[in-house]
Amino acid sequence: MVNVAVVFHSGFGHTKALAESVAAGARSVGNSVNVAMIPVAEAEARGEELDRADAIIFGSPTYMGGVSAEFAKFKDWTAKRWYADAWKDKIASGFTSSASWSGDKLSTLNQLMVLAMQHGMVWVGLGMKPGNNHSKGSHDDLNRVGSFVGAMAQANADQGVEGIATSDFATMEALGKRVAEIARRQKAGTSQLAEAA
C-alpha cells in the first residue's frame, strides 16, 4: 500500500475543494494508493498518518503573498518531525490558490518547497507544460496558470468554489496522480533494493 497525505488549510473553501481534486487524482492511480485528507487543524492529532505517508502534498491559499497564518503554524509544528528526520526521503509536492492571476502564488509554492527541503523530502513539481500561453490557448487548458514548481489555481475574490475553473481542478488531479505514481515507483524500487541486499 502506498500512503499519500494531503495536508491543507483553507479559509473560504477554495483550497479545500482543490485538495479534494488532488486526492481524487492520487486515488485514480489504483487500489494500492491510500489517501488521507488532513486539514492543518487536525495535523497534530493525525500526526501518525503524516509519519507513515510515503508522500505528503502541502496545500495553502496564498495570503499576503505567502502561506496562510494557519498553514505557517502547521509548518512550525513540523519542526518536531524535523529533529527526528521523520519525513526524510518522503515524496513532497504542493499547491495553492489565489484571487489574482499572479497574486505572488509562486512565493507560496516556494515556501512549501523549502519546507519540504528542510525535511530532506524529495520535491515533485507539476511536470506539465504551461497551457493558455499561446494564441490558440484557452482557460480550458490544463495548467492554464502556467506553473512548474507545483499546481496553481485562480478564483475570483468575489466568488466561492464555483469560481474555480474546471481546468484548475483537472490540473490538481494531475498533480495528485503524478505524486502517487512517483511514490508508488519509489516504494517498489526501495523494496526491490531491500530484497536484493
Q: Are 69 and 125 in contact (CB under 8 A)?
A: no
| Of 26, 44, 125, the residue nearest 36 (C-alpha) | 26
Categorise residue 132: left if φ over 0, alpha if ψ from -120 to 50, beta otherwise.
left
Min CB(170)–ligand FMN separation in Å: 17
| Sole binder of ligand FMN in the list 94, 103, 150, 176 (CB under 6 A) | 103
Contact between 41 and ligand FMN by CB under 6 A: the answer reads: no
Q: Contacts with ligand FMN: how many residues (CB under 6 A)?
A: 19
Give the C-alpha separation, 170 to 44, whole Å. Answer: 30
Which residue, 34 or 132, is less far from ligand FMN as judged by CB?
132
Beta 91-98 vs 122-123: how paired, if at all?
Answer: parallel
| Sole binder of ligand FMN in the list 3, 10, 21, 186 (CB under 6 A) | 10
Contact between 147 and ligand FMN by CB under 6 A: the answer reads: no
| Sole binder of ligand FMN in the list 24, 28, 46, 65 (CB under 6 A) | 65
Which residue, 17 or 182, is less far from ligand FMN as judged by CB?
17
Q: Are 34 and 86 in contact (CB under 8 A)?
A: no
CB atoms within 10 A of CB 53: 24
CA atoms within 13 A on the CB side of 90: 27
| Sole binder of ligand FMN in the list 32, 100, 118, 133 (CB under 6 A) | 100
Min CB(186)–ligand FMN separation in Å: 29
Contact between 61 and ligand FMN by CB under 6 A: the answer reads: yes
Contact between 130 and ligand FMN by CB under 6 A: the answer reads: no
Q: Which of residues 152-191 bind ligand FMN (CB under 6 A)?
A: 155, 157
Give the C-alpha separation, 103 to 63, whole Å. Answer: 9
Which residue, 62 or 143, is less far from ligand FMN as judged by CB?
62
Give the C-alpha separation, 27 to 34, whole Å. Answer: 7
| Sole binder of ligand FMN in the list 13, 30, 127, 137 (CB under 6 A) | 13
Q: 3-state DSSP call for residue 36?
A: strand
Q: What residues make contact with ligand FMN under the rule CB under 6 A?
A: 10-15, 61-65, 97-100, 103-104, 155, 157
